[in-house]
A and B are shown apart, each in its own frame.
Chain A
Amino acid sequence: MTRAPELNTPRTGTDVGDTLHPRTAEAKLDEVFSFRELARLDEALTMSSRETGLRFTLYVGELRAPTRAHAEELHARSGHHPTDAVLLAVSPGQRVVEVVTGAGAARRLPDRACALAVLSMTSAFGSGDLVGGIVNGLRQLSDQAGHPAGLRPH
């Protein structure tokens, strides 16, 4: 239960390339979520990141005691430009969800919008639906962040 989260970088949900990119620490890929749930999470993360231009990452696991500080520390390591990163940290054991937005992302995702998404997530988590809550929260966050003009396709 108290395994230290020594994750240095996030990974994609359907990153199964064990032959090309060996990961010794991970014994079973679908230990936490089934492959179908992983595909849903992966699609939600990828689509919301692509639509908004922000970088959404999702952490599921134990958070150290000041959960906010740990989530912010993870957020700082979440990619090349943490300014435009949004971290969803869910700790089902502690029943805590944290949303951390960088300075650039916070301009498009005000704290009120994050709180609303967190509210819908916690109501789903409370009924035991982890993946559904995460997917809905991501959808709500990306809807709020909108589609920047620079990313408009045609």
Chain B
Amino acid sequence: MTVAETLLVYAGIPLAIVLVLALLTLRPGADRRPRYKPGQPWNYAPVWYEPHPAATGGHGPAPAHGPAAVPGSGTAALGSSMYPEQPGERALESGHGVGPAVGTGSGGAHGGATAARLPHPAGPLGGARGTW
């Protein structure tokens, strides 16, 4: 074994391994996004997430969700995103709306402008509010 070979085996190979590992760990993350810090502006478009359609239908197959289940099979579309809920379903439902809210409890205190636009009055609303 010559000096060059010794150097190559005992210094070159460990160095190469170390370099490869360092590159793997220290390279900038491809999907690194800025972390939210309180006080920063929020420059994203609003998003609205809902549970998967069969979620509230109990544990059996949901009968009411036509497009949300695989047609011709009794399987519920639990967690499936292949057949998302169609917006037309809700448009149909809102056609025969209920009258204006009768109970004006805690939620009715916000004036008629809001209440007039409600497609589905849900009675006296509850909830909570917080800031940070």
Contact = CB atoms under 8 A, between A and B. Distances in A.
Interface of A: 1, 3, 5, 7-17, 20-21, 25-26, 30-32, 34, 41-42, 45-46, 48-50, 53-62, 66-69, 71-85, 87, 91-106, 109-111, 114-115, 117-119, 121-123, 125-128, 130, 150-151, 153
Please provide the 5 A-B residue pairs with the shortest distance between their CB atoms, ordered closest to farther: A61-B46, A103-B123, A93-B42, A106-B126, A10-B50
B contact patch SS: loop
B48 A11 contact: yes
A110 B96 CA distance: 30
Given A14-B81, A59-B46, A92-B36, A118 B51 contact: no
Contact of B128 (A58, A77, A84, A115): A115
A15 B121 CA distance: 28
Contacts of B74: none
A119 B117 CA distance: 30
A79 B50 contact: yes
Interface string B114-132: 1001111111111111111
Interface of B: 31, 33, 35-53, 55-56, 58-59, 79, 81-87, 90, 93, 103, 107, 110-111, 114, 117-132
A130 B117 CA distance: 31
A contact patch SS: mixed
Contacts of A130: 36
B49 A41 contact: yes
Given A42-B52, A122-B130, A125-B132, A11 B42 contact: no
Contacts of B59: 50, 151, 153
